[in-house]
Amino acid sequence: MTAAPPPPPWTVTSVVERSYLMARDNFAAFVTISLVFNAIALVVDLIGLGVLGAIVHLACGVVSAICLTWGALQAMAGRKPAWEAMFRQMQGPLFGRLLLLGIIQYVAIGLSAIVVIPPFFLLPLWAVTIPAMMVERLELGAAFSRSADLTRHRRLAILLTFLLVVVILIGGSLVIFLLLGHSALGQLIVWLYGSVAATVLQPLSAIFYVLLVEEKNGASVSQIAAALE
């Protein structure tokens, strides 16, 4: 009989707190990234480009996640990531591969919600694909495999963390709608709130990657971040 794995050295609430503090301490840089890509997605939505608009909207979410993941890894190493440096990740040699990875991942998780495999399975399974590829220079398939390996025995805690953050953020949106309704001002505030919320939600993958690599491979956050230089 296989022994049960030990509990993780971190908790759901400690990860949520860490993500919040990171977003707070790097707010100007993080929210600049989020606002730019959310603005592009908003303009595309307003124009109404159909399928093309949906693709652009999806790509904006992935690019924002890539930039904020890089920034989060830098922040955990004790550096102060600037928004310009985060934007420059779009010029990096791995950007095309990271973009393809993110699009495949986001589409698969989205489709799983209406097809066969519950998103509650894929979300924690692939929680650290982007930082794994970014740090370890992995190919597409290897990034998914690495995430599956790192998250083994930790997926329930990872899922609960994401769900807690999402529930909190949705609660904030509902409060805004209750106060302002569906007016133009209300929609603008919700859009701004969504940009701020992304600064807490999107760095979670980087945080989990560092925690899991520290736990399972013994690497320090400085060693992990050094691979990005």
> What's the pLDDT at 1?
46
> What's the pLDDT at 188?
85
> What's the pLDDT at 183?
81
CA 209, CA 136: separation in Å to the nearest integer?
Answer: 11
CA 68, CA 32: separation in Å to the nearest integer?
Answer: 10
> What's the pLDDT at 118?
65
> What's the pLDDT at 26?
97
CB 165 within 8 A of CB 12: no
> What's the pLDDT at 80?
92
CA 68, CA 126: separation in Å to the nearest integer?
Answer: 17
CA 179, CA 177: separation in Å to the nearest integer?
Answer: 5
| Start-to-end C-alpha separation, the chain | 44
CA 47, CA 142: separation in Å to the nearest integer?
Answer: 38
CA 15, CA 20: separation in Å to the nearest integer?
Answer: 9
> What's the pLDDT at 128?
97
Sorted by where each begins, the domain ranges of the chain are: 12-226
Surface-to-core class of residue 8, CB atoms within 10 Å of its CB (0-12 exposed, 13-18 middle, 19+ buried):
middle
> What's the pLDDT at 204?
97
Q: pTM for the whole thing?
A: 0.92
Surface-to-core class of residue 28, CB atoms within 10 Å of its CB (0-12 exposed, 13-18 middle, 19+ buried):
exposed
> What's the pLDDT at 3?
62
Phi and psi at 7, nearest 5°, equal: -65, 155
DSSP secondary structure string, 122-157?
HHHHTTTHHHHHHHHT--HHHHHHHHHHHHTTTHHH
CA 37, CA 40: separation in Å to the nearest integer?
Answer: 5
Other Cβ atoms less than 10 A from the Cβ of 127: the count is 26
Consecutive sets of 10 residues in the chain, 229 residues long: mean pLDDT of each? Answer: 73 96 96 94 80 87 96 94 95 95 92 70 94 96 97 94 93 88 82 93 96 90 83
